[in-house]
Structure 1
Amino acid sequence: MYRSTAKHFIMTLFAFLIAFSVHAEKLPNITILATGGTIAGSGATSTTTVGYTAATVGVQQLINAVPELSKISNVTGEQVFQIASESMTNEHWLTLGKRVNTLLAQPNVDGIVITHGTDTLEETAYFLNLVVKSRKPVVLVGAMRPGTALSADGPINLYNAVLIAGSPEAVGKGVLVALGDQIHGARDVTKTNTSTPDSFKTPELGMLGYVQGPKAHFYHVSTRKHTVETEFDISNLSALPQVDIVYGYANMNPVALNAFIAAGAKGIVHAGTGDGSVAAKVKPDLAAARKNGTVIVRASRVGNGIVARNGEANDDELDFVVSDTLSAQKARILLMLGLTKTSNTKELQRMFYMY
């Protein structure tokens, strides 16, 4: 009787250990690339939710602050940069994009999470959406409040991002953004508020899904081409063409436009009023810039809607490009990458309707 009970106990324990081992082996391998930002920030007191210092906490400290990560993934961390995201540059993007592609090419990396400041998070996400060469999930995550705050949102956002990055449902959906229990697509998400935790939204076209419990739930996907479907290759790029943004407003003048042209801009995104309207005082200078070889993209400062080709300007006659639904800051990214391939405006317009 004793031997039978002991044998049963040993067999049960052995089966448990095998099951535990199999479960552990099935956990996805997620690499967290840290770049700084509020999610890595700290404040003077627990009630400091503005006026804090960004980019003070290292990646391992971020991981250690969320021990629950070990239950959903095998996590490793790497500090790529340690900056506030308003200081993000083209050079940072190229370095980050190349590192992401290198990691995703490794069979032991199932997905990547990038911690990032929220000020330019949407721009970095869209850049990666165009240059990542893998179907594996890449998820950008940030926080609107530093980790020292009473209501810090960074830890749960990081947990959700790792959960998404390890989710089979996230494969092939392009670069994603995770904040506030929501999943957004890189192309259309934007920061809508200076300080509240629910700042990130996709106002018109809609978020892709939610994180609830231990699962990512997807309801929508973007129809625009991304990642492995794009024509952009940054593997041998050391710099991107200079593209600047000119903002439209009442009583606008061409001073800023001409300064950018004089400084060597290869492209200009004109964030016009309404449907990308061009002020009478500025139109001749935009037309002259285009005749001299600078590519002009008409975008809108409104934030939503399609910029109609040949709507508020005769784009065919002026040889301008329109941004479709891209914001000015994202149109700048696509134009920079487009100019690494061609300066033909018809080809560039094709890209704006494709990506």
Structure 2
Amino acid sequence: MLSADRDSNRTVLVLTLGGTIAMTRTAAASGVTPTLTGSDLVGAVPGLQGAAEVTVEDFRQMPGASLAISDIVSLVDRLQQADRDGVDGVVVTQGTDTLEETAYLTGLYHQGSMPVVFTGAMRNAAAAGADGPANLLAAVQTAVSAEARGTGVLVVLGDEIHAARNVRKMHTTSPGAFESPTTGPLGHVAEGMARFHGSLSPIAPVPLPVGPLPQVEIVTASLGSSGTLLKGLEGEVSGLVVAAFGAGHVPESWCGQLEALAAAMPVILASRIGTGPVLTSTYAFPGSESDLLARGLISAGTLDPYKARLLLISLLAAGMPRPDIAKAFLDRS
């Protein structure tokens, strides 16, 4: 599908959160830090104003690693206001450390068909071959595309268009770090236009939090791990994600502790691999996927541990009961 509707009269709001895309060197620091404003970013992109009528708002200015879930809840409130104001699309710039998580969480909460596109940079603005300007331009060109409406939250880097629910950061430094390993990209940006090769069925949004955000942690299985990190979690956290071996396996010594925790809180069984599903009935040894599901754990399906954690937090924060939590994971995997 080719989106051939370039229109410089379309309005795009750029919300900046900081990150590498906004980083430069200063005399006071030995490395780069977030210093560029949204206006600085937009002003460095040739041809941007020809793609849309762009306005900029400095929403946050921090490294991606310092963003919190509360920041994203506030961001979603701002997106809803932009939608009510008739903005055609929104681009969010931020650090790539947490971009796959913040985009996914925004996608859980985002309502309506207004395109929301996350982007960032792998090379800071002072580096040779800085990729921020090109990524920002491609993100704006995607945000004004008619094909982007109703597709959910998107991530655009390296001229590739990814669904937030599928994208992962797969390399620490490469400009091509972001991939959708299970599905591939939804499309590409070429000649100033977003070209979509496919689409995704919409998923009902999760209600915004009604109270304090719950604490949910991830415990990762590793060779010979004793499960010590599972001790003392009851009463300290509201939910747990287990990043298990392979298709959903843990050491046998973990089983009793996980069963007790699953009786006290939702415990989600995900795979530390990050791609592919948690199985349900292939293996039957103690600590296998079928054994753990029988002990009360909830399958994450195809969600990686980080996205499973965010989904569980959002469901708990909305006051969703346990049976509905299990169904929500089934519907989104």
Q: TM-score higher than 0.5 here? A: yes
Shift of 1:25: 8.2
- Classify 1:61/1:270 alpha carbon distance in 2 versus 1 (closer, same or farther; 3 Å): same
Return the TM-score normalized by structure 2.
0.91
Q: Partners in 1 of 2:59 and 2:211 — Cα distance?
A: 17
Residue identity in the other structure for 1:290? A
- Classify the secondary structure of the residue corresponding to 1:35: strand
Q: Partners in 2 of 1:336 and 1:246 — Cα distance?
A: 15
Tell me if structure 2 keeps the 8 A contact 1:139–1:178: yes
Shift of 1:315: 4.4
1:353 and 2:325 equivalent? no
Match for 1:333 among 300, 304, 310? 310
Shift of 1:24: 11
Match for 2:238 among 266, 277, 301? 266
Match for 2:199 among 221, 231, 255? 221
1:178 and 2:160 equivalent? no
Match of 2:56 in 1: 77
Q: Partners in 1 of 2:174 and 2:7 — Cα distance?
A: 39
Tell me if structure 2 keeps the 8 A contact 1:310–1:316: no
Q: What does the per-residue CA deviation read over 1:205-241, in whole Å, with 9 as the maximum and x for residues that have no partner?
A: 1110000012100012223x33xx32x221x645321
Match of 2:285 in 1: none
- Classify the secondary structure of the residue corresponding to 2:218: strand
Shift of 1:300: 0.5
Shift of 1:77: 0.7
Matches within 5 A, 1:124-273: 124-223=102-201, 225-226=202-203, 229-230=204-205, 232-234=206-208, 237=210, 239-262=212-235, 264-273=236-245
Tell me if structure 2 keeps the 8 A contact 1:52–1:146: no
Shift of 1:343: 5.3
- Classify 1:87/1:24 alpha carbon distance in 2 versus 1 (closer, same or farther; 3 Å): closer
Q: Which runs of 5+ in 1 are unaligned?
A: 1-22, 46-50
Residue identity in the other structure for 1:124? T
Residue identity in the other structure for 1:28? R
Shift of 1:253: 2.1
Q: Partners in 1 of 2:73 and 2:210 — Cα distance?
A: 8
Bigger radius of gyration: 1
Q: Partners in 1 of 2:7 and 2:160 — Cα distance?
A: 28
Match for 1:53 among 32, 35, 38? 32
Q: Partners in 1 of 2:46 and 2:273 — Cα distance?
A: 42
Q: What does the per-residue CA deviation read over 1:116-143, in whole Å, with 9 as the maximum and x for residues that have no partner?
A: 1001101011111110112010000010
Moved over 6 A (4+): none
Match of 1:303 in 2: 274
- Alignment length (residue pairs): 320
* Cα-Cα RMSD: 2.1
1:276 and 2:248 equivalent? yes
- Classify the secondary structure of the residue corresponding to 1:92: helix
Match for 2:298 among 300, 305, 321? 321
Residue identity in the other structure for 1:268? L
- Classify the secondary structure of the residue corresponding to 2:137: helix
Shift of 1:97: 1.4
Shift of 1:316: 4.6
- Classify the secondary structure of the residue corresponding to 1:197: coil
- Classify the secondary structure of the residue corresponding to 2:260: helix
Tell me if structure 1 keeps the 8 A contact 2:210–2:319: no
Deviates more, 1:308-317 or 1:294-303: 308-317
Match for 1:290 among 242, 262, 286? 262
- Classify 1:326/1:265 alpha carbon distance in 2 versus 1 (closer, same or farther; 3 Å): same
Tell me if structure 1 keeps the 8 A contact 2:88–2:114: yes
Tell me if structure 1 keeps the 8 A contact 2:186–2:198: yes
Shift of 1:319: 1.5
Match of 1:6 in 2: none
Q: Partners in 1 of 2:66 and 2:8 — Cα distance?
A: 38
Q: What does the per-residue CA deviation read over 1:48-100, in whole Å, with 9 as the maximum and x for residues that have no partner?
A: xxx84242211111111114111011111111111111111121111111111
Return the TM-score normalized by structure 1.
0.85
Residue identity in the other structure for 1:36? G
Tell me if structure 1 keeps the 8 A contact 2:6–2:145: no
